[in-house]
Structure 1
Amino acid sequence: MPRTLDAVLKHDELLALLGSGDARGLYDAARAARVALEFRATDAMLGLTPVNDDVVARLAEAVRAALREAAGLGLHEAACELGRLLFADGDPDAAFAAVAVAAEAGHGPSAVLAAKIAGRPWGQARHAQALRWLSAARELDADGRVHFMLGLYASLGFGGAQDYGRARTCYEEAAARGDADAMFELYVMHARGIGCPEDQELALAWCRRGAEAGNLRAMGNLGGFYATGSGVERDPAQALAWYERAAQAGHGRSAATLGTMYATGDCVPRSPERAREWFRAAEALDFDWREMAEAVELDPDEWEADAEGAPSEG
């Protein structure tokens, strides 16, 4: 189906549902439209002709209207989705207000989002409220995100006294429920002796668990361990595999590291073409690779993807 027609049909579907009182139908249609909008955002990057801006804008507004109505009908998932959109739009006050009712009702994802919003520098007055919502949602924490956020609040002293021991306990519970970010935080705590004795072997085990569970920083760190032989036997193939996995999942630093590896021939056969590809990927992920390139005595101007006289193979 042509992309413009798909956007128009999704817009019309949402308009038809508005005022219907069908919270679930509104939410499902809004989610489907959001997926379409995410694809539209990458059309130009993929070399596709973008859908008309007005069509995209109307669809985006219809999504928000549908989520507002579904949230007003008591569907907590819709309130949380609306909060994420408003937060991404740069309106934290509206985002916090959007999830407040759902968070107060014990909806875990909404409590986590509220805590994330309140965790910004201007959210200090909301720390206690967010902490109360998190605490109320902890029993229904299926994926560990509530406990992870509780650990973060304890570690930073948000809503109460800083308590690394409590933070570690929360992170351990979050990790037991599968939260990869909590696994990475446990790696950091054991590696640096924060709230527990320093234990590099246990730290490495947590880093590996976090990487295998999908934490980007853990993947990148594990790649670094294999590249340098820090705590593990040096293994260039494993280093390359973990850096690539991290970069492909969206870790800009790992993409930049791969660029320097291919540019210098460190752990991999030298390939200026691959180096430029990874530097370009790092830039697309909003990571400034130039400083890293300069650190290994590369001239960033020579490694721009479209630079004249760019380094060649060999």
Structure 2
Amino acid sequence: MTAPTHDHAAALLAAPDSTAAELLAAARDLRDAFVRGDHLIGLLPGDASDTLVAALERAGDGGEVEAWVELGRLLVYGAAPHAPYPPRDIDAAIDAFRRADAAGSRDGALGWIRVAYFTRDAERAQAAAARLDRLVAEVPDDGEVLLFKGYLTHQGYGYEHDPAAGAAWHRKAADLGNAAAAFELSVLHTTGDGLPVDETEARRWTHRAAELGSARAMANLGSMYATASGVALDGRAALDWYVKAAEAGHETAAFKAGVMCLIGDAGLPVDTKRAAELFELAEESDIDVDEELEFMGLSRP
């Protein structure tokens, strides 16, 4: 038996009169089936990923611009861990994003700029910078766009290498509420790369980034409170921030929180039940809890 999501998408692909909207909806349902893990329990056939790609391509050709954005993300990141997707295809992903961009999609424009930057595609550097400049002019109050202006400027990708100017763009993005930009400021005040080394400012921006939703900042706050790094030792605050980070997608935060409860670290009482719950959460991020605990000379409760 296969999942109805796959069968429905396959049936729409086989029908010549299927609409682009129907195909996009079916593709999203099939993507969600991967996210649920249907492929891990045999509910999706081996060609399910091909069906997903084909449905998105046909929906895009039919005028659904978001289908090209979805396809670009799929070809770079996949939709779920361990999904049997075709090999990662950066060129095809950028092409999909650029098709969305050509149709007026901000996400399409930022999508291909992001992929080109993070893969350090030298051939596309100048084009990415030029497109980003137009985006900044089009949406000057878009924090994510300003964040990437900061990244590219700081690293000299398509622009002259200028860490101080990059930090200034990050500050503009952070002031607009962008969590990633606020986190960058915490890092730059720690490293002195474009900003003065300032531990107080680094901690302030770490707190601000965490409040805005940065999982990395939440995890860093957990570590700071667990080790009394620039703040008073506070096991309860450390545990709370680690759990928030884990719930926001940080891979190791739940494991660290579980260890704290298991051994009663940072003044916390030993709580083996809570530790077991947190280790289960850590396993959802593909952490081998038993192996990591064994390495530390511990065992699961």
TM-score (norm 1): 0.78
Asked if the contact 2:13/2:23 (under 8 Å) is kept, the reply is no
1: distance between equivalents of 2:215 and 2:63?
A: 35
Asked if the contact 1:256/1:279 (under 8 Å) is kept, the reply is yes
Asked if the contact 1:111/1:133 (under 8 Å) is kept, the reply is yes
Count of aligned pairs between the two proteins: 290
Match of 2:43 in 1: 52
Matched, 1:71 2:60: yes
2: distance between equivalents of 1:285 and 1:120?
A: 23
Instruction: Determine helix, strand or coil for the equivalent of 1:175.
Output: helix
Using a 3 Å threshold, how does the CA distance of structure 1 residues 17 and 82 change in structure 2: closer, same or farther?
farther
Instruction: Give the deviation of 1:59 after TM superposition.
Output: 4.4
Compare 167-176 and 98-107 and name the one that shifted more. 98-107
Matches within 5 A, 1:98-137: 98-104=96-102, 107-121=105-119, 123-137=121-135
Instruction: Give the deviation of 1:51 after TM superposition.
Output: 4.1
Instruction: Give the deviation of 1:257 after TM superposition.
Output: 1.5
Structure 2 portions without partners, runs of 5+: 78-86
2: distance between equivalents of 1:150 and 1:212?
A: 23
Using a 3 Å threshold, how does the CA distance of structure 1 residues 39 and 143 change in structure 2: closer, same or farther?
farther
Matches within 5 A, 1:1-314: 4=2, 6-8=4-6, 10-11=8-9, 14-15=12-13, 19-20=17-18, 22-41=19-38, 50-54=41-45, 57-88=46-77, 89-104=87-102, 107-121=105-119, 123-138=121-136, 139-140=138-139, 144-267=143-266, 268-272=268-272, 274-275=274-275, 277-279=277-279, 281-287=281-287, 298-299=296-297, 302-303=298-299, 305=300
Per-residue displacement from partner, 1:29-84 (whole Å, max 9, x unpaired)? 3223322331134x85xxxxx24342xx4543333222112322443321111011
Asked if the contact 2:143/2:174 (under 8 Å) is kept, the reply is yes
**CA root-mean-square deviation:** 3.1
2: distance between equivalents of 1:62 and 1:53?
A: 11
Instruction: Give the deviation of 1:273 after TM superposition.
Output: 5.4
Asked if the contact 1:252/1:283 (under 8 Å) is kept, the reply is no
1: distance between equivalents of 2:290 and 2:23?
A: 46
Between the aligned residues of both structures, percent identity stands at 36
2: distance between equivalents of 1:186 and 1:201?
A: 12
Instruction: Determine helix, strand or coil for the equivalent of 1:158.
Output: coil
2: distance between equivalents of 1:24 and 1:256?
A: 42
2: distance between equivalents of 1:142 and 1:66?
A: 34
Instruction: Give the deviation of 1:168 after TM superposition.
Output: 1.6
Instruction: Give the deviation of 1:216 after TM superposition.
Output: 0.9
Asked if the contact 2:225/2:237 (under 8 Å) is kept, the reply is yes
Asked if the contact 1:37/1:60 (under 8 Å) is kept, the reply is no
Using a 3 Å threshold, how does the CA distance of structure 1 residues 13 and 181 change in structure 2: closer, same or farther?
farther
2: distance between equivalents of 1:117 and 1:15?
A: 29
2: distance between equivalents of 1:134 and 1:244?
A: 36
Using a 3 Å threshold, how does the CA distance of structure 1 residues 207 and 288 change in structure 2: closer, same or farther?
farther
Asked if the contact 1:145/1:179 (under 8 Å) is kept, the reply is yes
Structure 1 portions without partners, runs of 5+: 45-49, 306-311
1: distance between equivalents of 2:47 and 2:184?
A: 41
Match of 1:47 in 2: none
